Structure 1
Amino acid sequence: MPRPRSLTPDQLVSAALAVLDREGAAGLSMRTVAKELRMSTMGLYRYVADREELERLVVESVLGRVDTEPPPPDARWEERIEVLVRRLRDTVGGHPAVVPLTITHRHRSRAGLRWSEAVLAVLTEAGFDGARRVVALRALLSYVIGAMQLEHLGPLSDEGTVAISALPVDEFPLLAETAHRAKGVGAEEEFFGGLAALMGGLRTDPVL
């Protein structure tokens, strides 16, 4: 007769997030989560089949905390998209190692799909349809996920910025100048400035 279950999904997710926050995605395994829970690795298999299932539980839990309620309809569509993006960034930013996992499990996460549905609702109300709406959603997803990864998992350190700004100007004049100016640009300004530039392109939409 199987032993009664005593571990809840919330406890599993909390342990997996503790490992992710401390060791990053590379450190997540059945063994490390079992150790976090102070149980045997084999014992953990009574609750989840493998690491992939652990990842799905974590992604669903974190993305499930994102508020997907429609932003106020009286605002411009760009402002409404920014509200949804800010909610996602603020929530996932608390556990940045989850960002790459959202890419792997984006098609199976109901919570992630609900966020995309909310974005599509705003785009549709703004007049996006057909191929134009497809491109807009995918462009937004690509930017948001990529920018969050750069911000949290691969940021250009102050030392790196200084090193690039010191490059020989005869060989890299624009890169050196841009790196020099980048020292005064904060993460918030960079992220939402890039988002605004993307939405400006979607608004004019010269191709579709």
Structure 2
Amino acid sequence: MKPRNGRRGSARRSTPLSQETIVEAALRILDSEGPRHLSMRRLAKELSITPMALYHHVRDRHELLLLLVASRSQGRARPVLPEDPRERLLAAAQLLHDVLAQYPFLNEILASPDLLAVSALWVMEALLDAAVECGLTPEEAAQAHQAIWHFTVGVLLIRTTSRQHHAELTRPTQREQVFATLSPDDFPRVTALAGRWSALTARDSHREALEDIVEGLLGGRAAHQGEHT
């Protein structure tokens, strides 16, 4: 039997349309189909409404992503960070990675300075505060945050892109094909590692590298113990 109002599938939705139900529908699409399939038209179809009806609640895709960022940030329990400033800085840097890693639409977040969730700013505050307590000036702390941010973003983007690329490949990668043609005389180091390169680089070394970066940023600076409140 067709719905009385003639709109296909509208009978499936018994709850009123709201930003909360829109976010829930968007998350379903992200989980089942991936970020490339999340569009306003696809979202409207998921909700069994017209795109015009959707625009009454969400202005555009940009606002939709803001709502999704906020939904992932709100309600997250804040972990207790270590008292030692160096350990706290490292823990905050790890949290930055973990927070960003939860967004399947990471590329768009990084491309737009407007996609910022205030509820997640405490991670940035914790990192800056720990860096200052480790002996950095506020200006140096900002630079340290930027260095850690760039490293973290690079790791996540490369990881995400690589996984997507390998999932679609039905042949050896271009790198594997090139490595197979190299002369050991011209490239002794590369060819010695070529057969193990994929296994070596597949290992998640993020934490180890993060520890090295933090150590390099701080050097031999003495922490200002007891300033943390």
**How many Å apart are 1:132 and its aligned residue?**
1.4
Match of residue 98 from structure 1 = 105
For structure 2, the 5+ residue unaligned runs are 1-14, 221-229
- In 2, Cα distance between the equivalents of 1:170 and 1:7? 67
Alignment of 1:167-186 (within 5 A): 167-168=181-182, 169-178=184-193, 180-184=196-200, 186=202
Question: Which AA in structure 2 matches 1:34?
Answer: A
% identical aligned pairs: 26
Please give the alpha-carbon distance, in whole angstroms, between the structure 2 residues aligned to 1:172 and 1:63.
48
Aligned length: 198
Give the whole-Å Cα distance in 2 for the aligned partners of 1:94 and 1:108.
14
Shift of 1:120: 1.0
Decide which of 29, 33, 37 is 1:27's aligned counterpart: 37
* Residue of 201, 207, 215 corresponding to 1:200: 215
Match for residue 11 of structure 1? 21
The 2-side partners of 1:123 and 1:35 are apart by 47
Greater shift in the superposed pair: 8-17 or 45-54: 8-17
Worse overlay, 86-95 or 191-200: 86-95
- Match for residue 41 of structure 1? 51
The aligned counterpart of 1:122 is: 130
Contiguous gaps of at least 5 residues in structure 1: none
Q: 1:203 to 1:116 in 2, by over 3 A?
A: same
- TM-score, scaled relative to structure 2: 0.70
TM-align CA RMSD: 3.2
Q: 2:92 corresponds to which residue?
A: 84
Cα contact 1:69–1:118 (8 A) shared by 2: no
Contact 1:123/1:133, CA 8 A, preserved across alignment: yes
Shift of 1:173: 3.9
In terms of Rg, which structure is larger?
2
**In structure 2, distance between residues paired with 1:109 and 1:157:** 31
In structure 2, relative to structure 1, the CA distance for the partners of 1:122 and 1:171 (3 Å cut) is same
- Whether the 8 Å CA contact 1:84–1:119 is kept in 2: the answer is yes
Please report the TM-score for the alignment, with normalisation by the length of structure 1: 0.76
User: Which among 145, 157, 165 is matched to residue 149 of structure 1?
Assistant: 157
Cα distance, 1:40–1:31 mapped onto 2, change above 3 Å: same
With CA pairs under 8 Å and 6+ residues apart, which has the higher RCO, 1 or 2?
2
